[in-house]
Amino acid sequence: MPAYVSQLIGTDTNVICERYFGSIDKSFPFISNKILKQGILAGNLSETPGLALLLLCMKLATENSPLKEAPANTSMLYRTARNYLNIVEEITPVSIHVFQLLVLIALYEIGHSIFSAA
């Protein structure tokens, strides 16, 4: 996992999980909290790029943009997630985490009117 991704995720993955499962998951449940926490506790973030990117996308999906007038596709979190997604797709086989994060990115893009990317 690149350092820039690690910095954006931060050290407290529990906060990302709590925000996600307390909001988006209630209306669109497709990520298992139990399996996600098992992967995090096993220390698989640096070894499993899909898991790290999934957390980054969960953070993206729940972020509150401070600049409402700035285009959503200029968000540092969004640009990093998209760029790292390209890397992950090249180096790892498709996994359930990759599928889940693709759905989260598509939801973000549709919700923020980035239709060409979605």
Residue-level pLDDT at 29? 92
Domain that holds residue 50: 3-111
In a domain, residue 117? The reply is no
* Tens digits of residue pLDDT in 29-74: 999 999 999 988 887 677 778 888 999 999 999 887 655 666 777 7
Does the global pTM surpass 0.75? yes
pLDDT per position as a tens digit, 68-93: 666 777 788 999 999 999 988 888 77
Say if 9 falls within a structural domain: yes
| 116 found inside a domain | no
Counting other chains too, the contacts that 48-52 makes at CB distance below 8 Å and 24 or more residues apart are: 48/97, 49/1, 49/84, 49/87, 49/88, 49/91, 49/92, 50/88, 50/92, 50/95, 50/97, 50/98, 50/101, 51/97, 52/1, 52/5, 52/6, 52/9
Number of structural domains, the chain?
1
